């Protein structure tokens, strides 16, 4: 059969294939025009094993049939082999959200019917493609996500160390702010080595802890036995191993950032000529690092999750909506209310939440924004608002290589607030305190 898949004026696709993916196989549905009868569709459904050779053979079959768009449902991580191998074959692959292609309730549900349903939705243009970054960004994402997991695991093991000390009546964490600092780690190693004298352990204090030797000796007095020493040795070894792995991931992330170069054709939607030959992801990470609340690790996570090409998100609002940092609009009749934002990308939202929490404690525009919102909306919604502002700033910094972060100051809202609105708010506050307010404007 001849011809390639094409989008018609009505949004339909002529030649399309859909795959309902399971762990060991995938149900493929091919829908193409009939050879001789105009308006008739030919449908074929078959099962393909999820092995490399079978998927590559499927790609050759779809290319021979003139299929250019392949739609598949996001099912755990089982979609990755189909997506990556078919994409490498030159096919246009769309990954769609399972919530958007859910079958009609009450109808039978089988793998075959699901594949046919997905193909019909795809050929009518009723599905949206999810964001799948290019291969270099996917590799960066693997490193950053693994590092996040290792950091969380190391934190859990550090907590287990403190629990072992508490079991031995060692209250070191009540005196030392960082149990794994220089002083704390020296005392832990001495306990493992067999030192039990509280005063001798307190003598290992360094820096500001030298003034707390008496409190340290009291906190180190307990019933630390050989059993606790053996357990502590295992836990400390695990913490050290995870620290070494995290350092190696930091090196790999830095190397990958140097290898990712994004050509910029000017800001999205401007149509301007390229301003530079390319911008490395490392330079973008340094630019993001200037934003209050964003550190080097957070900047790397942001780039790994949203990529370095903002053409996938035409405006900051598209990116914010994709990240689920804005409320969902629910309108019915005359009622119009805001619904929950949704789950979104947990890796991105976690990093933005930490950045927002850090920026909330700064004397910056973002800190002032948090303090302005938290008074009337609460802590959680104020953090989401600050996280949204950080993501909008990140979009502009990544989209235009010539921009840099400019601090607006803590008084930006006061300078741009409508004077009548500010007066009304102040009057309400005084009236709430029981005062009767009379306003008399001053002469110029």
Q: What tokens does 94 get?
A: 């769309």
Alpha-carbon span 265 to 273, nearest angstrom: 6
Confidence of residue 266 (pLDDT cuts 50, 70, 90): low
Who contacts 146 (Cβ-Cβ below 8 Å, separation ≥6)?
249
Give the up-direction half-sphere exposure of residue 281: CA atoms within 13 A in the CB hemisphere. Answer: 27
Lowest-pLDDT range, 31-40, 108-117, 412-421?
412-421
Q: What tokens does 28 get?
A: 């493929």
User: According to the model, what pLDDT value does residue 6 have?
Assistant: 44
Alpha-carbon span 302 to 140, nearest angstrom: 11
pLDDT surpasses 90 at 437 = no
pLDDT surpasses 60 at 277 = no
pTM: 0.84
Which DSSP string do the residues of 292-358 spell out, in sequence order?
TT--HHHHHHHHHHH-S-GGGSSSHHHHHHHTT-SPEEEEETTEEEEE------HHHHHHHHHHHHH
Domain positions in the chain: 16-130, 138-257, 276-399
Which DSSP string do the residues of 59-114 spell out, in sequence order?
HHHHHHTT--EEEEE--TTTHHHHHHHHHHTT-EEEEE-GGGGPPPTTS---HHHH
What residues does 10 pair with on adjacent strands?
A: none
pLDDT digits (tens, 9 = 90+) for 32-77: 988 888 878 899 999 999 999 999 999 999 999 999 899 998 878 8
Alpha-carbon span 370 to 251, nearest angstrom: 34
- Please give the DSSP secondary-structure letter assigned to residue 44: E
Confidence of residue 97 (pLDDT cuts 50, 70, 90): confident
Assign domain 16-130 one CATH number from 3.30.420.10, 3.40.640.10, 3.40.190.10, 3.20.20.70: 3.30.420.10
Residue among 108, 151, 110 at smallest CA distance from 301: 151
Alpha-carbon span 225 to 193, nearest angstrom: 12
Mean pLDDT, rounded, for 195-212: 91
């Amino acid at each position: 059969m001849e011809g390639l898949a094409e989008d018609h004026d009505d949004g339909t696709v002529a030649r399309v294939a859909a795959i309902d993916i399971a762990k060991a196989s995938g149900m493929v549905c091919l829908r193409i025009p009939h050879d001789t009868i105009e308006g008739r569709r030919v449908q074929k459904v078959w099962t393909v094993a999820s092995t490399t050779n079978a998927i590559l053979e499927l790609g050759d079959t779809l290319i021979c049939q003139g299929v250019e768009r392949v739609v598949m449902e996001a099912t755990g991580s089982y979609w990755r082999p189909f997506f990556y191998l078919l994409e490498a074959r030159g096919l246009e692959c769309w990954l769609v959200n399972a919530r958007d292609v859910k079958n009609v309730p009450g109808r039978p549900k089988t793998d075959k019917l699901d594949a046919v349903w997905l193909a019909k939705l795809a050929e009518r243009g009723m599905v949206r493609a999810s964001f799948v970054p290019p291969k270099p960004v996917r590799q960066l994402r693997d490193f950053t996500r693994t590092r996040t997991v290792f950091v969380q695991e190391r934190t859990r093991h550090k907590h287990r160390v403190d629990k072992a000390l508490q079991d031995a009546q060692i209250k070191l964490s009540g005196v030392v702010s960082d149990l794994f600092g220089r002083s704390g780690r020296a005392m832990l190693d001495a306990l493992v080595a067999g030192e039990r004298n509280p005063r001798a352990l307190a003598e290992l204090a360094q820096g500001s802890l030298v003034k707390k030797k008496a409190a340290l000796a009291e906190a180190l007095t307990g019933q630390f036995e050989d059993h606790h020493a053996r357990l502590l040795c295992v836990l400390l070894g695990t913490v050290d191993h995870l620290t070494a792995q995290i350092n190696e991931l930091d090196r790999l992330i830095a190397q990958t950032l140097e290898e990712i170069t994004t050509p910029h054709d000017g800001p999205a939607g401007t149509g301007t000529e390229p301003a530079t030959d390319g911008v490395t992801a490392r330079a973008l990470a340094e630019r993001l690092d200037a934003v209050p609340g964003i550190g080097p690790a957070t900047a790397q996570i942001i780039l790994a999750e949203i990529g370095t090409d903002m053409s996938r998100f035409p405006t900051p609002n598209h990116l914010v909506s994709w990240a689920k940092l804005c409320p969902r609009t629910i309108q019915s009749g005359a009622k119009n209310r805001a619904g929950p934002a949704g789950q979104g990308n947990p890796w991105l939202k976690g990093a933005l939440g930490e950045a927002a929490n850090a920026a909330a404690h700064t004397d910056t525009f973002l800190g002032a924004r948090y303090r302005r919102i938290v008074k009337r909306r609460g802590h959680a919604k104020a953090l989401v608002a600050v996280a949204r502002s950080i993501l909008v700033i990140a979009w502009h910094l990544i989209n235009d290589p010539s921009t840099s972060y400019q601090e607006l100051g803590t008084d930006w809202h006061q300078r741009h607030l409508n004077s009548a609105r500010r007066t009304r708010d102040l009057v309400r506050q005084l009236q709430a305190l029981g005062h009767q307010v009379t306003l008399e404007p001053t002469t110029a």
